[in-house]
Structures are given as structure tokens and as C-alpha cells.
Amino acid sequence: MVIASIQVKTGGVAGSIAALAASDGCADHAIVRRLTHAVVAGRDLADAVHTLCAIHGRPTNLFEEASRRPVPDLDNRWLAEATEAFGVERANLARLTAAVGPLPSTPGQAESDAAFAAQRHAFDMLARSDRTGCAVGAAMALVIDWHAFRRILNAAALRAGLNTVPSALPSVSDITTLATDALPAPVRRAIAFGAQQSFAQHRGLCDVIEARAIARDKL
């Protein structure tokens, strides 16, 4: 689902997450458009797949951690659904990483590795936050951005001659309507904070992928 199609609601944390998705989500990032173009270089797709695997391909993920920190008075059934679905996404990501071949040689690899390590740490901090709602908000943002990342992964799968696997993750519209004004204000703020931080990390990740592609273009 394209983020731009979200109807931004006024007020409340649901409106805040929808607004953040529209303004800070990755769907409209230049690198997403580049990587889903028909004539994109295979090395750029391969690099993006390896990068996403480096950040979100680990056995322990944000949804599992958020499930251990549920928000009272919030319908948390979506977390069980998302945890199972993201397990399938991780398996698909691992399969795709093997299919696209080795990580392309790119100038500044050490700097990229440091950035990836910092991002993994940031997501770990969000996932394990004791602030009620923070991990859930970060997980919501991951679902939203993953729909954009899925467009890249599907393009890579087609380039590698693989069948695309349908995603079972909740839709963007389902996620943006979960949190309501009925939640306590501190919880709503924590959910919005977690989502904002997750979106920011993904924007940074897209910036790194884009910079790496530009650096290879100059070789």
C-alpha cells in the first residue's frame, strides 16, 4: 500500500502516526523509486536486500519484543499476527539475500557497517524500552515502512527469477487506526515517539542505501 494514500486524521495518536507515515515514511523516498524502476541496476537491488537483511533479518525482531510489552486497553492481537507474518518475511529475506548474490563492492564499506551497527542498536533500544507503548509504536512504524521495502524486495525477487511471496502483515490502514484517544496520554505519546524514531531510522537507512548506490555509480 502506498503511504501517500493514507487519509490523515486530525488529532490523537492515530492521526499522529498517519501523519508521520505520510511525512516521514519511506514509501516516497527517492531510493525506493530508483530501486523499483524497471531499468535499475542489479547490484543496487542486491545491495538493498543485503542491507535490509543486516538490519531486520536477525532472529530476534521488534514484533517479538513488543509482544512482551503489550499496551493495556489496546487491541494487541495484531502483534501476534505481525510476529508470525514477519517470521515469514525474515525467511523470504534470507532466501532473497542468497539469491541476489554477494554484497556488491562499495566505497566506504567500513562506514556503512558502522551505520548498520548503530541502527541495529537503535532498534534494540526501541524494542526493549520500558516506556509503555514505545516498542508498540516502533513496531507499527516497521509494518508501515515494510510495505514500502516489500516493493524493493519484490523487484529483487523478480530480477533473480524468484516468485514473490504475498505478505501477511497487517495493512497500513489497519495499523494507523489501532491507537485511539481512549488510551492514556502518556501511552499515546510513547506510541507516537516509538513510531517517530522507527521512521527516522528507516529514513536514515534509505539515505545510506542511496549514498552507496551513488558511490558505485562513480566507480
* Spatial CB neighbours of 185, under 8 Å, sequence gap ≥ 6: none
What's the pLDDT at 162?
95
What's the pLDDT at 180?
63
Structural domain includes residue 117: yes
What's the pLDDT at 206?
98
| CATH code: domain of residue 185 | 1.20.910
Structural domain includes residue 20: yes
Q: What is the DSSP letter of 132?
A: T
* Spatial CB neighbours of 153, under 8 Å, sequence gap ≥ 6: 49, 52, 92, 93, 96
Tell me the HSE value of 215 on the side-chain side, using a 13 A CA sphere: 15
Q: How far is CA 142 from CA 107, 154, 164, 186, 218, in A?
A: 28, 17, 20, 21, 32
At position 212, the amino acid (one-letter code) is R
- What is the pTM (predicted TM-score) of this model? 0.91
Structural domain includes residue 2: no
Domain total of the chain: 1
State the burial class of residue 10 (Cβ atoms within 10 Å of its Cβ: 0-12, 13-18, 19+).
Answer: exposed
What's the pLDDT at 28?
94
What's the pLDDT at 179?
61
Structural domain includes residue 155: yes
Q: Give 10-residue mean pLDDT values along the chain (219 residues).
A: 34 74 94 96 98 92 89 85 93 96 96 96 95 94 97 97 92 80 84 95 97 95
What's the pLDDT at 36?
96
What's the pLDDT at 5?
32
Structural domain includes residue 133: yes
Structural domain includes residue 3: no
Structural domain includes residue 1: no
What's the pLDDT at 12?
64
Instruction: Report how far residue 219's alpha carbon sits from residue 209's, in angstroms, rounded to the nearest whole number.
Output: 16
What's the pLDDT at 101?
96
Nearest to residue 136, comparing CAs of 206, 90, 198, 201?
198
- 15: domain range? 8-217
Structural domain includes residue 32: yes
